[in-house]
Amino acid sequence: MAEHHIALNWERGEAPFTYEGYSRNHAIRFKNEPPVIFSTAVTYKGDPSKGDPEDLLVAALSSCHMLSFLAIACKKKVTVDSYQDDAVGFLENEGGKLWMTRAVLRPLVKCDADAALLAEIHHLAHQACFIANSVKTVVTVEPR
């Protein structure tokens, strides 16, 4: 079993603690790196220049799929030159409850595999992605 720790810090500062007034910006430290500032979506009075928890979820899904894809490609002796993704997550209201109902990964891979092998590797990567396996969000992969 592996544990994954982060350190989160939020401080009110000088702003009044009202729904309109408090800052949504907070620092998250990964490993021993400097903290990264995140916020909430603009809809909830967040800083539009910062990533938010929903962005982090989409990024985790995309990153996990890519890392699974690269590992499987290596094992299949496929040389990958580049991997880009233009992923999107959909935060939707179902029955009065907001949740990330679906995410679409749109990877663009440059490699020496034909279309059939590329599709097989994406399928296997999707099955192996433990982030996708951990959420109820429907994750689809639409290679470009």
What distance in Å separates the CA atoms of residue 65 and residue 129, rounded to the nearest whole number? 6
pLDDT tens profile 6-21: 999 999 999 889 999 9
- Of 70, 142, 130, 71, nearest to 103 by C-alpha is 142
Using the structure block, give the residue that is written with the tokens 């999707």: 126
Reported as a pLDDT band with limits 50, 70 and 90, residue 142 is very high
- pLDDT score for 96: 94
- Read off the pTM: 0.91
pLDDT tens profile 87-141: 999 999 999 999 999 999 999 999 999 999 999 999 999 999 999 999 999 999 9
pLDDT tens profile 23-75: 999 999 999 899 999 999 998 999 999 999 999 999 999 999 999 999 999 99
What distance in Å separates the CA atoms of residue 1 and residue 7, rounded to the nearest whole number? 20
- pLDDT score for 1: 83
Distances (CA, A) of 44 to 55, 109, 117: 14, 35, 43
What distance in Å separates the CA atoms of residue 56 and residue 62, rounded to the nearest whole number? 10
- Of 45, 114, 112, 51, nearest to 80 by C-alpha is 112
Is the distance from CB of 103 to CB of 90 less than 8 angstroms?
A: yes
- pLDDT score for 8: 92
